[in-house]
Amino acid sequence: MTKKVTFLALATAVCFAGCQEQNKETEADNATEPVRAGNTQIVDLTHSFSEETVYWVTAKEFELEVVAKGQTDNGYYYSANNFATAEHGGTHIDAPIHFAEGRHTVEEIPLEKLIGEAIKVDVSKNALNNPDYLVSVEDFLEWEKKEGKQIPDGSIVLLHTGFASYYPDKVRYMGTSLRGFEAVKLLHFPGLDPEAATWLVKNRNIKSIGIDTPSIDYGQSKDFQSHVILLSENIPAFENLTNLDQLPSKGFEVVALPMKIKEGTGAPLRAVAILKN
Ligand SMILES: [Zn+2]
């Protein structure tokens, strides 16, 4: 009896410690609060990779295989996993080669295209209730009017549609939970109007672009022209970003570093924003 009680107490203590540990991990995974670092704030723009991660409907989903997890016979704890993923899923980068022959592969993208001053164009008011919303030239001109200046040369441009708030609910986030080629025509989410992509590359000088939806082209796109226009100019695209609601419209930096896959057309991305003051 005594033995049983002791065992139960021990089990509870272990569970308590374990549960606390687990809660801590869950909080970190879904961190939405900026992290303070000196006089800057860091906002994580990245969704965690897990079995919930949203992938393009024809792409292989994320897999995590536990190789080891627990105490070893030699007296230390050891854990290790294998993972498998398509290049294009979750928070990831589209390297220019994805839609433009002869342009940069992932490891060829110059680092300065992935790090630097950024702006946010907030279209969530119009996009949240219109899953076929196209970010337009007018949206960029409105940003410029409000800020009293042109989109600065060398900017990283983030498009905030608000759709990250639906993630990882696939029906709300991308229009369907079905998968495979048949599901492509069921996709509905906002993207960048090809006309606006053309305007950006002809009239402004941006380094890279990002969006909080599965693709820089909207869900109903048939020919992915915004991809073609931007990537042809060696402008990489970040997709499935999150927490853009926590960013101001200007005055912050983005660091968006992909896994350095040789000859990769895309790669999982860890993207953060650094806010001054
Ligand atoms: Zn992609």
115-158 residue pLDDT tens: 999 999 999 999 999 999 999 999 999 999 999 999 999 999 99
Residue 243 lies in a domain: yes
Expressed as residue numbers, the domain containing 152 is 92-276
First to last CA, the chain: 60
Q: What is the structure's pLDDT at 36?
A: 78
Quote the ligand 1 centre to 168 CA distance (angstroms). 17
Q: Is residue 134 a part of any domain in this protein?
A: yes
Domain containing 250 — which CATH number? 3.50.30.50
Q: Which single residue is written with the structure tokens 């393009």?
A: 56
Q: By CB neighbour count within 10 A (0-12 exposed, 13-18 middle, 19+ buried), where does 233 fall?
A: middle
Q: Is the pLDDT of residue 210 over 50?
A: yes
Q: What pLDDT was estimated at residue 32?
A: 66
In a domain, 217, yes or no: yes
Q: How many angstroms is it from 76 CA to the middle of ligand 1?
A: 40
Strand pairing class (134-135; 191-192): parallel
Q: How far is the CA of 143 from the centre of ligand 1 (A)?
A: 26
At 231, list the tokens: 């990537």
pLDDT at residue 185 tops 80: yes
Whether residue 62 lies inside any domain: the answer is no
Max distance between CA atoms of the chain, in angstroms, equals: 80
Query: For 252-259, what is the mean pLDDT?
Result: 98
Q: Which of 262, 275, 266 is nearest to 98 (CA)?
A: 266
CA of 160 to the centre of ligand 1 (A): 17
CB burial class (10 A; 0-12, 13-18, 19+) of residue 10? exposed
Task: Determine, yes or no, domain membership for 194.
Answer: yes
- Average pLDDT (53-62) is 95
As a whole number, the mean pLDDT across the chain is 90
- Measured CA to CA, the distance from residue 118 to residue 247 in angstroms comes to 10
Q: Give the chain's domain count.
A: 1
Q: Is residue 101 part of a domain?
A: yes
* Mean pLDDT score, 29-47: 81
Q: Where is pLDDT greater, at 180 or 28?
A: 180
The answer to whether residue 26 scores a pLDDT higher than 90 is no
What 60-68 contacts at long range (C-beta under 8 Å, 24+ apart), as own/partner pairs, is 60/84, 60/85, 60/86, 61/85, 61/86, 61/89, 62/89, 62/90
How many whole angstroms from 266 Cα to the centroid of ligand 1? 6
CB 162 within 8 A of CB 135: no
65 CA distance to ligand 1 middle (Å): 24
Tell me: the pLDDT tens digits for 63-95? Answer: 999 999 999 999 999 999 999 999 999 999 999
pTM: 0.87
pLDDT of residue 22: 42
Average pLDDT over residues 256-272: 98
Ligand 1 mean position to 94 CA, how many Å? 5
Q: Is residue 234 part of a domain?
A: yes
User: For position 39, what pLDDT does the model report?
Assistant: 82
- For residues 222-230, average pLDDT: 98
Looking at residues 192-196, what average pLDDT do you find?
98
Measured in Å, residue 20 CA sits from the centre of ligand 1 at 36
Whether the per-residue pLDDT at 15 is higher than 60: the answer is: no
Whether 169 is in a domain gets the answer yes
Answer yes or no: is pLDDT of 34 > 80. Answer: no
Q: At 77, list the tokens.
A: 């704890």
What pLDDT was estimated at residue 35?
80
- Kindly give the distance from the C-alpha atom of residue 121 to the centroid of ligand 1, in angstroms, as a whole number: 20
Write out the residues surrounding ion ligand 1, Cβ under 5 A.
88, 94, 239, 266
Distance, CA 68 to ligand 1 centroid (Å)?
31
Count other Cβ atoms within 10 Å, centred on residue 51: 9
Question: Among the residues of 2-123, which ranges form H helices?
Answer: 2-29
237 contacts 93 by C-beta, under 8 angstroms:
yes
Four-CA torsion 268, 242, 214, 55, nearest 10 degrees: 50
C-alpha dist (Å) from residue 135 to 8, 33, 67, 76, 158: 59, 27, 44, 53, 11
Residue 150 Cα to ligand 1 midpoint, Å, equals: 28
